[in-house]
Amino acid sequence: MTTEAFNIPTSVKWQGDSIQLLNQQKLPHMTEYLTLTSIDEVFEAIKTLKVRGAPAIGITAAFGLALAASKYETNSLLRFKQLLEKDKNYLSYARPTAVNLFWALERMVKSIENATSVNEAKTALIHEAIQIQVEDEEICKKIGENALPLFKDGDNIMTICNAGSIATARYGTALAPIYLGKERGIDLKVFACETRPVLQGARLTTWELMKAGVDVTLITDNMAAHTMKMKKISACIVGADRIAANGDTANKIGTFSLAILAKEFNIPFFVAAPLSTFDLSIKSGQEIPIEERDLEEVIHINGQAIAPEDVKVYNPSFDVTPNEYITGIITEKGMITSNYFEEIKRLFKS
């Protein structure tokens, strides 16, 4: 993918002593960058979805930890490591489901294991966060390469939420093959589910695909079945927040419904995710912690109440799609299509 043709703003930028963060809460109406200078601001930005999407959350947390550590006023490496552990634990409470958050924070702490001084450790942390971001961009490109052969020119593809460029370092996971196809003259048309309650599909996926000149059509979530039937959807492709050792996949609420519909209509249902989204410590999707968010998200749209203020609300932010609904999981190391438990183990060994 040529970077010149790809004019979607980067979600996270390291500035040396601060983080510039694309405020995804303001999209699509305003392209605003926030300047984060403290770990509390980083925590708040992740919690309130100013940055969201599993890989982008991990990248932001990594820079947040490097930023916090750069301000520790101690010459003792032991004390430095204690402070780092405390801040790592703090950031890990920002959101519970996307495993990339914990993966990135663990990787950051590991990166200073061999440091011999506080200054060396501070520099190592910054390098590691930059490395996580650089690698994620390369990984997303590879996911795009591995996914593109699944589609042909003119295909109608359905997706949910935003697993695009701004949810990652660049290019996205589920949207990477769409961008790659665009560049190679393979036109894939996207049907984006709006993704209630906070509308990542309507606000973010349509915005970034339109910026890249991709043919995108917005539908409300309850139009998915009818659209599959009427618009000859060739495939669904979605991202992931955590994939268990058996391939069960947690992703944005509504993903499981799409997978059930896809099965009914005989439409292949693909999950696109980097290996950093797998959690091999978890045997099945039943063990994945599902975030429940504030009831405000369901009762209000853009600050406007759409239901009685005192109505009872259930607001799970993610659901788990059991592996039997998934036609293939596409990673940077290729696609796996069955025997997920064994195949995932093999992927990690290779």
Residue 246 as a binder of ligand MRU (CB under 6 A): the answer is no
- Which residue blocks in 152-274 are alpha helix, DSSP H? 176-183, 200, 206-211, 224-230, 255-264
Is residue 95 annotated as involved in ligand binding? Answer: yes
Among 1, 43, 55, 326, binds ligand MRU (CB under 6 A): 55
- How many whole angstroms separate alpha carbon 268 and alpha carbon 259? 9
For residues 41 and 241, which CB has a smaller minimum distance to ligand MRU in the complex?
A: 241
- How many whole angstroms separate alpha carbon 142 and alpha carbon 135? 11
Among 21, 36, 39, 53, binds ligand MRU (CB under 6 A): 53
Smallest distance, Å, CB 69 to ligand MRU? 25
Is residue 323 annotated as involved in ligand binding? Answer: no
Q: Which helix (H) or strand (E) holds 72?
A: none
- How many whole angstroms separate alpha carbon 250 and alpha carbon 259? 12
Using CB atoms, what's the residue nearest to ligand MRU? 239
Smallest distance, Å, CB 78 to ligand MRU? 36
Smallest distance, Å, CB 95 to ligand MRU? 7
Query: Is the dihedral angle over the CA atoms 24, 30, 35, 41 positive or is it negative?
Result: negative
Binding to ligand MRU in span 68-127, by CB under 6 A: 98
Binding to ligand MRU in span 273-312, by CB under 6 A: none
- Mark residues 252-271: x for contact with ligand MRU by CB under 6 A, - for none: x-------------------
Residue 247 as a binder of ligand MRU (CB under 6 A): the answer is no
For residues 43 and 80, which CB has a smaller minimum distance to ligand MRU in the complex?
A: 43
Among 36, 163, 267, 329, binds ligand MRU (CB under 6 A): 163
Task: Report the relative pairing of strands 156-159 and 189-193 from DSSP bridges.
Answer: parallel
For residues 172 and 177, which CB has a smaller minimum distance to ligand MRU in the complex?
A: 172
Smallest distance, Å, CB 209 to ligand MRU? 14
Sorted by sequence, the CB contacts under 8 Å of residue 137 that are 6+ apart come out as 168, 169, 170, 171
Are residues 16 and 26 in contact, defined by beta-carbon separation less than 8 angstroms? no
For residues 140 and 228, which CB has a smaller minimum distance to ligand MRU in the complex?
A: 140
Q: Which two structure tokens, joined as six digits, stand for 111?
A: 């990166």
Is residue 203 annotated as involved in ligand binding? Answer: no
Residue 242 as a binder of ligand MRU (CB under 6 A): the answer is no
β-strand partners of 290 = none
Q: Which of 87, 136, 155, 241 is catalytic?
A: 241
Quick check: is 136 catalytic? no
For residues 111 and 317, which CB has a smaller minimum distance to ligand MRU in the complex?
A: 317
Sorted by sequence, the CB contacts under 8 Å of residue 19 that are 6+ apart come out as 12, 13, 35, 36, 42, 60, 63, 64, 67
- Among 298, 290, 292, 294, which Cα is nearest to 250's? 290
Binding to ligand MRU in span 309-338, by CB under 6 A: 317
Which listed range, 59-67, 115-123, 160-168, 282-290, lies at the site for ligand MRU (CB under 6 A)? 160-168
Is residue 252 annotated as involved in ligand binding? Answer: yes
Are residues 34 and 21 in contact, defined by beta-carbon separation less than 8 angstroms? yes
Residue 45 as a binder of ligand MRU (CB under 6 A): the answer is no
Burial of 28 (0-12, 13-18, 19+ CB in 10 A): middle
Are residues 181 and 151 in contact, defined by beta-carbon separation less than 8 angstroms? yes
Residues acting as catalytic residues: 241
Which residue numbers belong to the known binding site for substrate?
A: 52-54, 95, 200, 251-252
Using CB under 6 A, list all residues that contact ligand MRU: 52-55, 98, 161, 163, 167-168, 172-173, 200, 239-241, 251-252, 317
